[in-house]
Homo-oligomer: A and B are copies of this chain.
Amino acid sequence: MTEKALALLKEKKYLQLKQMLKEENPVDIAGILEEMPAEMLLLVYRLLPKELAAEVFAEMDNDQQEILIQAFSDQELQDVLDELYLDDTVDIIEEMPANVVKRILRQTKPEVRKKINEILHYPEDGAGSIMTIEYVDLKKNMTVDEAFSRIRATGVDKETIYTCYVTNADRKLEGLVTVRELLLSPKSAIIGDIMETHVIAASTLDDKEQVANQLKKYDFLALPVVDQENRLVGIVTFDDAMDVLQDESTEDIEMMAAITPTGKPYLKTSTLDIWKKRVPWLLLLMVSATFTGKIIQVYEDALAAQVVLTAFIPMLMDTGGNAGSQSSVTVIRGLSLGEIRMTDIFKIIWKETRVALLCGLTLAIANFAKMMLLDRISFSVSLVVGLTLVVTVAIAKITGGTLPILAKRVGVDPAVMASPFITTVVDALSLIVYFQIASALLPLS
């Protein structure tokens, strides 16, 4: 599709290109525009009908939006802003440099500018920051027929009309009614009689991830957002909730791999930015890992006496790290999905202890057999390594299972307690265990 568009552009067959684009979904058109050379962008964009153009604009990435805004006439900018939903406008404003923001604000009407400012002031991680302020509000004393007229008159975006909210004169939320219920009710029925009054709502200050999880839990199309006085101020729709959940998973995954989340696709992040998000963690973990080195230095004499012990250090460290990260990652994900609560800590310790013993014994037996039969290592060294495996796996799994919960309890993101951190902690512990067991069972002086 993109190839065809580029070919038409090259041959200057603009009419055909226009016909072709008109039939596509805005998301796909934005995808095609992304592949266009920057100097062609405005030309192709101007081929689109006005309403479609604004929909496409909302789907484009920020770099291209910026190019377009810089190139737009004042009239074009105003046309786009008139068609955009306010939450999309706010999203764009948040990503643009100051001079572009000024231009945008100059082209918006004073009352819209006031609303934009309101939304910009909600906490960044709160429900207020992801809500849509376009929704259908009804009154209790309307009939079903009047409700349909109101929906037609409001005519807002598809995802926002199917659940309508009933508010009183003070804008306080009194109930909700779905278009399905309206369709199944007689036209003369009174909204107040058919509305659902047991409304599950979020507050503007609620954490956006919590709100998205709630929306997912109940399979709602939208969740109303109310302020401190229970006044309806907006709704969070399922598509924004899906984005939040997806972004949340990505952030968790990045944190687990010791990366500060960038919030941008990899290929669109500059080398310097990637470096900035990665190197502080590498430095921190490098410094922590030197403590592990110190432990080896303490036992340097013992190692010199039994150099064979050195060969098993990497295996013990890796196994401990792997066993620990299995547990920590399981618990971190469980916390994110709401499947594990902080009060489950004792259940986790009990479960991890049993799993650790099973895993540790399996590994120790396999390793013992291999060392004795294949590598022809002495019985006592094989025993030391085997015992260390059991103890290390136990320590790793219990540490891995509990640290994320303890982190959450003190207000740290549990995802920090994943593989890299656990590995560093477990490395040190496993070496101490190793040398202690070795000192007890082997002649080391």
Interface set of A (CB-CB < 8 Å, partner B) = 23-25, 27, 148, 151-152, 155, 158-159, 161-162, 178-180, 183-184, 198, 200, 216-219, 221, 238-239, 241-243, 245-246, 249-250, 252-254, 256-259, 265-267, 271-272, 274-275, 278-279, 281-283, 285-287, 289-290, 292-294, 296-297, 300, 303-304, 307-308, 310-315, 317-319, 321-323, 325-326, 328-331, 333-334, 337, 339-340, 344, 347-348, 351, 354-355, 358-359, 362-363, 366-367, 370, 393, 418-420, 423-424, 427, 431
Residues of chain B lying within 8 A (CB to CB) of residue A158: 178, 180, 221
Q: Which 7 A-B pairs have the closest CB atoms?
A: A257-B329, A249-B249, A292-B314, A219-B239, A293-B311, A289-B315, A289-B318
Question: A245 vs B419: C-alpha distance in the bound complex, in angstroms?
Answer: 23
The answer to whether A283 and B362 touch across the interface, beta carbons within 8 angstroms, is: yes
Instruction: Tell me the smallest distance from the CB of A393 to a CB of chain B, in Å.
Output: 8
Of B148, B200, B266, which one neighbours A331 at CB under 8 angstroms? B266
Question: A285 vs B265: C-alpha distance in the bound complex, in angstroms?
Answer: 31
Residues of chain B lying within 8 A (CB to CB) of residue A245: 242, 245-246
Residues of chain B lying within 8 A (CB to CB) of residue A321: 321, 420, 423
| A155-B184 contact, Cβ under 8 Å, with A293-B315, A310-B310, A359-B282 | yes
Name A's interface SS. helix
Residues of chain B lying within 8 A (CB to CB) of residue A334: 265-267
The answer to whether B25 and A218 touch across the interface, beta carbons within 8 angstroms, is: yes
Question: A424 vs B151: C-alpha distance in the bound complex, in angstroms?
Answer: 60
> For residue A298, which residue of chain B has the nearest CB?
B311
Residues of chain B lying within 8 A (CB to CB) of residue A344: 267
Of B159, B279, B294, B337, which one neighbours A219 at CB under 8 angstroms? B159
Question: A319 vs B300: C-alpha distance in the bound complex, in angstroms?
Answer: 22
Residues of chain B lying within 8 A (CB to CB) of residue A217: 27
| A23-B256 contact, Cβ under 8 Å, with A274-B355, A304-B307, A322-B281 | no
Q: Can you pick out 10 interface pairs between chain A and chain B where the beta carbons lie within 8 Å of each other? A: A23-B198, A158-B178, A253-B333, A266-B339, A275-B355, A282-B319, A282-B363, A286-B367, A297-B308, A300-B311
Instruction: Tell me the smallest distance from the CB of A110 to a CB of chain B, in Å.
Output: 30
Instruction: Tell me the smallest distance from the CB of A325 to a CB of chain B, in Å.
Output: 5
Question: A146 vs B359: C-alpha distance in the bound complex, in angstroms?
Answer: 64
The answer to whether A318 and B286 touch across the interface, beta carbons within 8 angstroms, is: yes
